[in-house]
Structure 1
Amino acid sequence: MSEYAIVLLSGWGVRSCVWDAVRPTFERYARVFRLDLGELASCAAAQGRSITLDVLVDLLAEATPERAVWIGWSLGGMVAARFAVRWPERVAALVTVATNPCFTARETWRQAMPEAEFLDFSRRFERDVEGALQRFLTLQCSGSETARVDARALKACVSPCDGDTLKWLQDGLRILRDADLREDYQRIDVPSMHLLGENDALVPAGVAEDILRLQPGARVRVMQGLSHVPFVSAPRVFAGLVEEFLGGCYAGRSSRA
């Protein structure tokens, strides 16, 4: 398994250093590429392009290996899922972490953040960016036994609130509000695992059954006692689940060769 690459995508408001607890484990057997969605968004802004999921995918297609395992967290998982649909030949396997096909609830998708709660957060963000980011950080860690330790780790990786980054944060909220990846999940045709936290305050663990209905062949795991950042709270457990999944994927590929 040492010849492949792993792409790690961060989420909204947090830089790629959020992966630091698990990156060394992955680097033992793969080339690891950590990518900040905020940096990609800055590139798009410099080109005069509006930020959408597809624009992010276009930029990733230019910045990533020809074939890799894609691991995306939260919004990064949504981007990775869209990449897997558009570029399946470049995705050896897909792992989403604390990712919901619809981050905000809809009439036909209830296992998500209530729309009123999301709008309240968005209004708070417009009034007080740093306060809203702190609130978001707290929600990401809420429900974990290691919440205080997790919060310190996340705080070190929070995106700065300056020019291009602020624009990305606004665009990212719009994507989280509007994106509906249910059809994408139905079209994914690569080995997939979706990891959820039992106590996640942002992505309800109850969405597991809905994800399985969209993608019956996927592996869906709810990590007990963990929240929105399981790779921060329990890096060894998280890395073990990923290694087990990838081992099965590559063993299956070898047996078919």
Structure 2
Amino acid sequence: MTPLVLLSGWGIDARIWQPLAPYWPPELAVSAPDWPGYGSAAESLDASDDPERLAARMATSLPAEAVWVGWSLGALLATRLLAQLPTPRGVVLLGMGGRFCSEGGVTATELRAFRNAFRRSPTATWQHFLRWQLQGEPAPRPALRRLQELIGRRPSATPATLERDLAQLAALDNRAILASPPCPVHRLAGSHDPLLGDSDRRALDHAFEAAGHCPMLSCPAELATRLTEIARVASRSATPESQP
């Protein structure tokens, strides 16, 4: 079966994917590398603000024979890397469209205010973001406790890393790539995602009814099942020459 590579979003490292672990079939290879500057790669600050350097750092973690699953900022970065790395068998955009700011979702004014608040008080603003993104979950407070159990009460990345990636949330626009993608693109999100814009909701291939921006917390079994099916379809679609 085609492997899955799970890529986390702003301010959150790869531990966010741990709730899915009990639901993967044994034959499916799943990896969750950290972006440079986060978690196990926290020392690699300078690599992800330039596409070529980011591609060089992530090349071994993002093989062409896999499906890349990007969540939130991770989806924006993974899509950008389609122009830098060998084409994967598919890309999953989880809780994200072609850009972060959009009508009906997070506005550019809101993001600008958030960035200003982050410069004044990085840790408190990061903690506010955790609560903000969980507003669409069916049980936000238990979801926050679960998230804190997974990643702790302080970010694994430095303020400089987080500020750099807020700039990427503001700047990255992948709509041209997604208009003519080099591989299959699957768009998934929670039905109550407070960060997703109207046009991106209409473009979804699947919506998780009992979830917001963090379906890995609210419906891990359903999310794992959907991603496993995408991996199976990618395997069936692969040509003999591209099989590992």
Q: TM-score range by the shorter chain?
A: 0.7 to 0.9
- Stretches of structure 2 that go unaligned for 5 or more consecutive residues are none
TM value normalised by structure 1 = 0.81
Deviation at 1:51, TM superposition (A): 1.9
Residues 6 and 69 in structure 2, CA contact (< 8 A), matched pair in contact too = yes
Match of 1:189 in 2: 182
Counterpart residue number, 1:42? 43
Match of 1:78 in 2: 76
Query: Is this contact kept in 1: 2:12–2:155, CA < 8 A?
Result: no
Paired residue secondary structure (1:125): helix
Match of 1:215 in 2: none
Q: Determine helix, strand or coil for the equivalent of 2:145.
A: helix
Instruction: Write the distance in 2 (CA, Å) between the matches of 1:120 and 1:88.
Output: 37
Q: Does the 8 Å CA contact 1:14/1:154 hold for their aligned counterparts?
A: no
Q: Measure the CA separation in 2 of the matches of 1:247 and 1:100.
A: 23
Partner of 1:94: 91
Deviation readout 1:65-113 (Å, 9 max, x if unpaired): 4521211110011111122343343x122111111311123xxxx2441
SS in 2 for 1:21: helix
Return the offset for 1:61.
1.0
| Alpha-carbon distance in structure 1 between the residues aligned to 2:51 and 2:147 | 24
Residue type of the partner of 1:28?
A: P
Counterpart of 1:174, as a letter, is A
Choose between structure 1 and 2 for higher RCO, CA contacts under 8 A separated by at least 6 residues: 2
Distance 1:74 1:103, change over 3 A: same
In 2, Cα distance between the equivalents of 1:121 and 1:159? 19
In structure 2, C-alpha distance between the alignment counterparts of 1:154 and 1:187, rounded to whole Å: 35
1:9 aligns with 2:7: yes
1:194-239 Cα shifts (integer Å, max 9, x gaps): 1112111112354233xx4xxxxxx722222311011211001111
Q: Distance in 1 between matches of 2:53 and 2:193?
A: 28
Provide the C-alpha distance between the structure 2 equivalents of 1:158 and 1:81, rounded to a whole number of angstroms: 28
CA distance in 1, matches of 2:212, 2:228: 20
Secondary structure of the residue aligned to 1:67 is coil
Q: How many residues are treated as equivalent by the alignment?
A: 238
What is the correspondence of 1:170-185 to structure 2 with a 5 Å cutoff?
170-185=163-178
Residue 207 of structure 1: which of 197, 200, 204 is its match? 200
Structure 1 window deviating more from structure 2 (77-86 vs 124-133): it is 77-86
1:21 to 19, 22, 25: 19
| Equivalences for residues 120-159 of structure 1 within 5 A | 120-155=113-148, 156-157=150-151
Counterpart residue identity of residue 12, structure 1? W
Between the two proteins, what is the percent identity of the paired residues? 25
Q: Which amino acid aligns with 1:78?
A: L
Helix, strand or coil at the partner of 1:20: helix
Q: Secondary structure at the match of 2:229?
A: helix
Q: Deviations over 1:133-177 (max 9, x none)?
A: 111101111121122222112223158458x62211010000001
SS of the aligned residue for 1:193 comes to strand
Whether the 8 Å contact between 1:6 and 1:68 is mirrored in structure 2 is yes
| In 1: Cα distance, 2:231 partner to 2:60 partner | 24
Moved more, 21-30 or 130-139: 21-30
- Indicate yes or no: 2:220 matched with 1:222: no
Q: Single out whichever of 129-138 and 187-196 deviates more from structure 2.
A: 187-196
Amino acid at match of 2:43: S
Once superposed, what is the RMSD of the aligned Cα atoms? Answer: 2.7
**1:53–1:132 CA distance, 2 compared to 1 (3 A):** farther
The one-letter amino acid of 2:134's match is C
Relative to the length of structure 2, the TM-score reads: 0.85
Would the alpha carbon gap of residues 92 and 252 (structure 1) be closer, same or farther in structure 2, given more than 3 Å must change?
closer
Q: 1:6 to 1:96 in 2, by over 3 A?
A: same
Maintained 8 Å contact 2:23/2:225: no
Q: Which residue of 2 aligns with 1:245?
A: 230
